[in-house]
Amino acid sequence: MVARRARDGLIGVDLTTGPYPGFATDLQAPTMALLAAAVGTSAITENIFEQRFRHVDELRKMGADIAVRGRTARIRGVEQLHGAAVTCTDVRAAAALVLAGLGAAGETTLDGLDHLDRGYDGMATKLAACGADIARS
């Protein structure tokens, strides 16, 4: 994958997950959160696992424009995601929703943080140390 940055922001890309040295399926959900705010249309084709797009409905609650057909998700970048109450459905989805929430306008509230805690030790503390406006209640 080659990351490209336009003068005004990120540009969409097409990705296909695959075994090493391909694009890692574990990065698919966080990358989709990023592409939801990129300029243009992107596509992610998931070739490793079925049911790996469970985070799509949660990203849609934040204003993401994502359509899934079979194993491919088409993501049309929006100018700005907005905060919403969302639910983490697995470890990768939790990471994606945290990233989307950090880039969204307004407040995002995450439920299902047990998934996040299984995969990422002290994420809220680490992100706060980087300047993120984030808190656990």
Q: pLDDT tens digit string along 3-20?
A: 455 566 788 999 999 999
pLDDT of residue 124: 87
The answer, yes or no, to whether residue 2 has pLDDT greater than 80, is: no
Q: Mention the CATH class of domain 5-129.
A: alpha beta
Cα 36 from Cα 40, distance rounded (Å) = 9
Mean pLDDT of 16-41: 95
**pLDDT tens-digit profile of 89-126?**
999 999 999 999 999 999 999 998 888 888 888 888 89
The answer, yes or no, to whether residue 137 has pLDDT greater than 80, is: no
The burial of 48, by beta-carbon neighbours within 10 Å (0-12 exposed, 13-18 middle, 19 or more buried), is given as middle
